[in-house]
A and B are shown apart, each in its own frame.
Chain A
Amino acid sequence: MKTKVFSLFIMCLVVQSLMFGQTKDMVLIEGSRYIPLYGRDSTVVEVKDFNMDIYPVSTEEYKQFLKENPKWRKSKVVSLFADKSYLTNWKTDLEPKDSIHLNSPVNYVSWFAAKAYCECQNKRLPTIDEWEYVAMADETTKDARVKPSYNAQILAWYEAPRTKENRIGETPKNAWGVYDLHGLVWEWTLDFNSVLITGESRKDVDKDSNLFCGSAAVNATDLMNYAAFMRYAIRGSLKAKYSMKNLGFRCVQDIKKENK
């Protein structure tokens, strides 16, 4: 009797930790202050503690989401929230093309769709500052930006073709235990539209300075971080309803105070 009760008790604990721990496939990222390429006042930004998905969202997981949320299927989605190329690599509403592996990262999704996906799971998209903070790490160091090998490795990926067809989790995990921040797809961020660089960012043409208020304050801090430049440039060129073949996403979650 006693053992039965005990095993029940353990089972409950396990179930509970699965339901409430929400650490399944997420890792705790301890916040800190750091200097991103573009920050508030171009200086230090503060990142609070949060949990991050260790993998980007897979095609299979997205399929499950579409089953439960018909309004995000490609035949139903409202054009305000997704352009024509949304899920263009899916042959039907619920079936990706045969060439797509279910364990590849989902792509051709708009910002609105990615946001809805995360919110459905009580999560949210990471901010640029959060994403970049975790992405500074290589396999051993949490801020590897000073290492020449760090940039070289990322740039090697930017040159490698068709990485979006790779499977999730094949790149080495970084010092936080997060996979695939570099080497698979670009990822949506919650505030991607805070990047105020236009298509023509060389300042010889002054036309665009009228578009932005205070844009002189948004300057780059680390001109050597070419890889980060490319990410910010991509973000600056995106619109929320765009969907692109090499753009996926992952979710993060705030740490609730009562868990502490």
Chain B
Amino acid sequence: MNVSKKKHKHVIHINNVSNYLKLTISVLVMLMVVTSCKSDASNNSETALDMYQCPMQCEGDKTYDEAGSCPVCNMDLKQVETASKDIETDEISEESIFNLTSEWHTEEGNKIQLEDLKGKTLVMVMIYTSCKAACPRLVADMRHIEAQIPVENIKNVQFALISIDPNTDTPERLKAFAIENAMDGEQWTFLQGTESGVREFANVLSVKYKEISPIDFSHSNIISVFNPAGELKHQQEGLGVDNKETIEAILQLTQY
């Protein structure tokens, strides 16, 4: 009786061990998969596909993969060659901020990467909404700059305000801030990132910042202008400085 019990125990033990082994091995395999760093091999999977569209756009924006005729008006389909498509398939240059792959939330609650802002001239500044000292002046500078840009240029400009306090500045809070400051138009975007994403982005802009209390940050006051490909073109440093050069840089970039 005693002996069989012992044996039984032993069997269970072996079973346990083999289970344990399986588990360990599978975990090991999984770990290897997880820890091997992402390479960029999968980046270029999209090959340039030709697209065809009815020249009269009978079916709106509908496109076809091959040549043929429009089912509505029977005209020959034309190959689509829109500029925006070209920009999308263009490779990102080395200096472009679109090399950053961090994820951001907009004030509308959308999840984006910086690359999603491609195609427009970008005017960016880092602020935080609970700031009482410099940020209101920075925000005022941004509004002043925006007001100086003619309406026909505005549609090619995106003004982005990036929070350096991602824990406090949720999309909801940023939205409220946008409404409060009359900056809720299409041309304004507010971004909430992760702590490391914000740190990385600040480093790209050469912006320095430090949390000095739970609601207060020291930070550099820099407004940066990027061309539609995400390359830094102009930086304005300081508060209450003349915005003229920044405005000129934006005007130059938005003259097509």
Contacts and interface: CB of A to CB of B under 8 A. Distances in A.
A complexed with B: yes
Interface string A86-112: 000000000000000000000000011
Interface string B13-43: 1100100110010001001000111011000
Interface in A185-203: 190-191, 193-196
B209 A12 contact: no
B211 interface: yes
A89 B15 CA distance: 55
B218 A80 contact: no
A33 interface: no
Given A9-B17, A196-B209, 18 more contacts: A5-B13, A5-B14, A5-B17, A15-B28, A41-B212, A80-B100, A81-B99, A120-B37, A190-B199, A194-B210, A195-B210, A196-B208, A210-B238, A212-B220, A212-B221, A217-B218, A240-B200, A241-B203
A205 interface: no
Contact of B28 (A19, A111, A115, A217): A19
Contact of B24 (A12, A40, A217, A218): A12
Contacts of A9: 17, 20
A63 B10 CA distance: 48
9 contacts: A5-B14, A9-B17, A191-B199, A193-B202, A193-B207, A210-B240, A213-B135, A214-B133, A215-B218
Interface string B198-230: 011011101111111100111111100000000
Contacts of A8: 17, 21
Interface stretch (A23-31, A46-54, A64-72, A130-138): A64-72
Contacts of A196: 208-210, 218-220
Contacts of B208: 193-196, 212, 236
A16 B217 CA distance: 43
A12 B20 contact: yes
Contacts, number: 119
Contacts of B248: none
Contact of B217 (A68, A78, A213): A213
A212 B40 CA distance: 38
Contacts of B145: none
A122 interface: yes
- What 3 pairs between A and B have smallest CB-CB spacing? A213-B134, A240-B203, A194-B210
Interface residues of A, number: 43
B237 interface: yes
B17 A71 contact: no
Nearest to A238: B203
Contacts of B39: 69-71
A11 B1 CA distance: 33
Contact of B21 (A12, A78, A120, A194): A12
A194 B239 CA distance: 19
B209 A194 contact: yes
Given A214-B218, A218-B212, A68 B99 contact: no
A146 interface: no
Contacts of B28: 15, 19
A16 B28 CA distance: 8
Interface stretch (B60-68, B89-97, B104-112, B180-188): B89-97
A33 B28 CA distance: 37
Contacts of B24: 12, 15-16
